[in-house]
Amino acid sequence: MMRPAELVEERFWERREDFVIMNPAATLPVLVENDGPPICGAWPVSEYLDETRGFALAEHRLLPPNADQRAEVRRLTEWFLVQFDAEVTGFLVEEKVIKRERARAGGDGAPDSGLLRAARSNIRMHMRYVDHLIETRRWLAGDRLTYADLAAAAAISVADFMGEVPWPEAEESKDWYARVKSRPAFRALLADKVRSITPPAHYSDLDF
């Protein structure tokens, strides 16, 4: 039986020496399994898990067997891992979380209001895109749950934890996200805590 993953908190902005040796880019996530080498990055981790476990999942596999469908999953996964992060979550995490942690260590903790405004403007565009996708598809990349849905939901959950998702403007996205966060494998994310930040009441509510 496969053991559950053991999660380790890593304050990546501190660039801890052992962590940088493991991943010179000092980015998360990093997967270490048994005595194997570290797998660095969300998409490399996803590909690794698909290659080592995917075939056993049959119709529940998170990367489709068809090449065209896989390309769409990869495109959307990159959209949320890279573009959404660069335009939304990167700003929110830096200004609302990391700066507070730096302030506790004696650094500058003042958030940049201009960057927060940019994140709030940008997320509306991204949520409209999710609405657009869900209008014609059951899941983001097609008829089944894939890594694209997990990447998008993980990214959106970060913004939602900070109360920064304009849900009244994104009804299609809201219905899709409720389906994702109701899945047992996603619920552990909803129990995460961040020091000094209290998520909105709906954050862990499976029915919104």
Which CATH number does the domain housing residue 131 bear? 1.20.1050.10
| CATH code: domain of residue 19 | 3.40.30.10
Closest CA to 132 of 171, 182, 89, 186: 171
Residue predicted with more confidence, 104 or 67: 67
Indicate if the pLDDT at residue 2 is higher than 80: no
Q: Give residue 3's identity as a one-letter amino acid code.
A: R
Which tens digits make up the pLDDT trace of 86-112? 999 999 999 999 998 888 877 777 889
In this predicted structure, which of 73-77, 96-100, 118-122, 123-127 has the lowest mean pLDDT?
Answer: 96-100
Both 134 and 75 in one domain: the answer is yes
Taking the model in full, what pTM does it have? 0.89
Q: To which H or E segment does residue 27 belong?
A: none
Residue 17's contacts (CB-CB under 8 Å, 6 or more residues apart) are: none
Q: Give how many domains the chain has, as a whole number.
A: 2
Q: Is residue 1 part of a domain?
A: no
- Residue-wise pLDDT for 31-59, tens only, equals 999 889 999 999 999 999 999 998 888 88
**23 and 99 belong to one structural domain:** no
| Structural domain boundaries, residue 163 | 67-191
Could you tell me if 75 and 40 lie in one domain?
no
